[in-house]
Amino acid sequence: MKFNYSIGTKVIFGNDCIRQNGKALSVYGKKTLIVTGSKSARESGALDDVCDTLISQGIAFEIYDRVENNPSLDNVAEGGMKARECKADFIIGIGGGSPLDASKAVAVLAANDMEPLELYGNKFKYDPLPIIAIPTTAGTGSEVTPYSILTRSDMQTKMSFGNDATFPRIAFMDAKYTESMPWEVTVNTAVDALSHAVEGYLSRKSTPIGDILAVEAIKSFGECISSLIDNRIGREIREKLLYAAMLGGMVISHTGTTIVHGMGYNLTYFMGIPHGKANGFLLKEYFNFNYDIAMVKIDRIFQLLKIRNADEFGSLMDVLLPDRPKLGREEIAKFSFITMQQRSTLSNIREVNKSDIEEILEKAFMFSPVK
């Protein structure tokens, strides 16, 4: 047994955690840039809580609320310029995965005179500005990972960068901020969290400690399934989902993801399918593909979810994630090629090649037996 494990983020979890812990922000400086999208921070109440807390601590702030859904390199470059112009001492990211991921890129670009494409080198002359993360969804776990996932139009996909310096310093996690999410978004993001835990658990890079966190995340998701199906999602369920998302983020902060994310990015980039939903469409065939190599772990996942096999899991996803698309052979060939360019593909527990990816996509999206 040999491994390294650390988390660079302090988690403060609970109701009203921002207002009750405002002093924790004062150590990072006298001015901050709030990085967010156009809606979720305001609708959730998180932005009001943050602004009031900053005022109470005598911290000046400006707001950059132009983060796109699936932010691009140009988008984060604009945010980085805004941070430099306002002379921010630290960055506060509020929102789902897109604003949190963007906040990490903005923090790097605020401190370094570099082209956004250089972010992927993961080497920065100066440390990024400190990052505070406040999630308003329960899915990405970005609040406890170093990763920033940005859209690469030049490669027609999404790719991540990140190192130890891009871990948020603090994650303020309050489930009430997720209550403004509609049912579909709640489900999609919950499945994203499940995917993180599952992929980290089934990664070549899995560790004993990470496996403990993954099992706890999967168990927590399993305890929420009936409530998700029936749309009975109160504060207790939302706390469990937020907890599961945080744990999933902690898992992939060390393992990264696998082929599910690599394949799913294509569905998001080319077809506009939300990220978590795209992953959910793929998980049944992912289990089938890896089963002979990871039987014990996959059976443990099914046990935690209180199902018997991959077919039952697929039926569950069909209930939670309607409107599965159909792909043609040209799309499958293209998506498979792009998936094989992703670094995460190398982490899959079973060795994979382009024909394997094609077969998984055929089984998931062609609605006919593969010959």
Average pLDDT over residues 60-76: 96
Query: Could you write out the three-class secondary structure of 52-117?
Result: HHHHHCCCEEEEECCCCCCCEHHHHHHHHHHHHHCCCCEEEEEECHHHHHHHHHHHHHHHCCCCHH
Mention every residue, 6+ apart, whose C-beta is less than 8 A from residue 172. 12, 17, 18, 21, 132, 133, 134
Please name the fold of domain 10-178.
Rossmann fold (3.40.50)
Statement: residue 16 has pLDDT above 80: yes
Statement: residue 234 has pLDDT above 50: yes
For 255-264, how does the pLDDT look when each residue is reduced to its tens digit (9 = 90+)?
999 999 999 9
**pLDDT bucket at 336, cuts 50 / 70 / 90:** very high
For 98-121, how does the pLDDT look when each residue is reduced to its tens digit (9 = 90+)?
999 999 999 999 999 999 999 999
- pLDDT attached to residue 6: 83
Statement: residue 371 has pLDDT above 60: no
- Averaged pLDDT of the chain: 95
Residue 342 has φ and ψ, to the nearest 5°, of: -80, 135
Q: How many beta carbons lie within 10 A of that of residue 350, not counting itself?
A: 16
- pLDDT attached to residue 366: 83
**pLDDT bucket at 370, cuts 50 / 70 / 90:** very low
Pairing status of strand 31-36 against strand 10-13: unpaired
Pairing status of strand 60-64 against strand 31-36: parallel
- pLDDT attached to residue 287: 98
For 265-292, how does the pLDDT look when each residue is reduced to its tens digit (9 = 90+)?
999 999 999 999 999 999 999 999 999 9
Q: What gap in Å lies between CA 161 and CA 256, rounded to an integer?
A: 11
Containing 221, the helix (H) or strand (E) segment is: helix 208-222
Statement: residue 1 has pLDDT above 90: no
Residue 106 has φ and ψ, to the nearest 5°, of: -60, -40
Average pLDDT over residues 8-16: 96
- Let me know how long the chain is: 371
Residue 319 has φ and ψ, to the nearest 5°, of: -75, -45
Please name the fold of domain 183-365.
Dehydroquinate synthase-like, alpha domain (1.20.1090)
Q: How many beta carbons lie within 10 A of that of residue 51, not counting itself?
A: 16
**pLDDT bucket at 322, cuts 50 / 70 / 90:** very high
According to DSSP, the residues that pair with 34 across neighbouring strands are 63, 92
Q: What gap in Å lies between CA 340 and CA 352, rounded to an integer?
A: 9
Statement: residue 146 has pLDDT above 60: yes
**pLDDT bucket at 172, cuts 50 / 70 / 90:** very high
- pLDDT attached to residue 2: 78
Average pLDDT over residues 157-169: 94
- pLDDT attached to residue 367: 60
DSSP 309-370: SHHHHHHHHHHHS-------HHHHHHHHHHHTTSGGGGGBSS---HHHHHHHHHHHHS-S--
Q: At how many degrees (to 10) do helices 208-222 and 235-255 cross?
A: 150
- Per-domain residue ranges of the chain: 10-178, 183-365
Q: Is the pTM of this model over 0.75?
A: yes
